[in-house]
Amino acid sequence: MFSGQTRNLSANGAEMKCNGFIAPGRQPPRPGDVGVFTLSFRKGANLDVIKVGARVVWVMGSLAGLNLFINQLAQPQRENFSKVLDSGQGKID
C-alpha cells in the first residue's frame, strides 16, 4: 500500500506522487500492477472517499501514471467523481 498526492486527475486516469516508491527497502509498483485507488475529497463539511480499481501504466521515480476503472463504479460514485473533476478543487457542495 502506498499513499501520496494525486496530480492530473482526469476521467480515466491520474498521476500519483509517492516518496514511498523510492524509499530504501520498498518495492515500487510496476507497470501492469492492479490495485485500488482511493480518492479523498470534501463533500460539504464531511470527508468522503471513492475507491476505484486502477492499473499502473508507468512509473518514473516517485511518480506513477494510473489508469482508473471509472466504469466499474456505481452510478452515485461516478456522479461524485465527475463533480470532483468539475470542481477542480477536490471538493463538492
pLDDT in tens, 60-71: 999 999 999 999
Taking residue 7's Cβ as centre, other Cβ atoms within 10 Å add up to: 11
CA distances from 81 to 31, 44, 53 (A): 24, 14, 13
Spatial separation of the C-alpha atoms in residues 63 and 60, rounded to whole Å = 5
Q: What is the pLDDT of residues 36-65, one digit of tens each?
A: 999 988 888 888 899 999 999 999 999 999
pTM for the whole structure: 0.84
Spatial separation of the C-alpha atoms in residues 64 and 29, rounded to whole Å = 8
Architecture label for domain 5-86 = Beta Barrel (2.40)
Q: What is the pLDDT of residues 4-45, one digit of tens each?
A: 888 899 998 999 999 878 888 888 899 999 999 999 888 888
Compute CA 62 distance to the chain's CA centroid, rounded to the nearest angstrom: 15
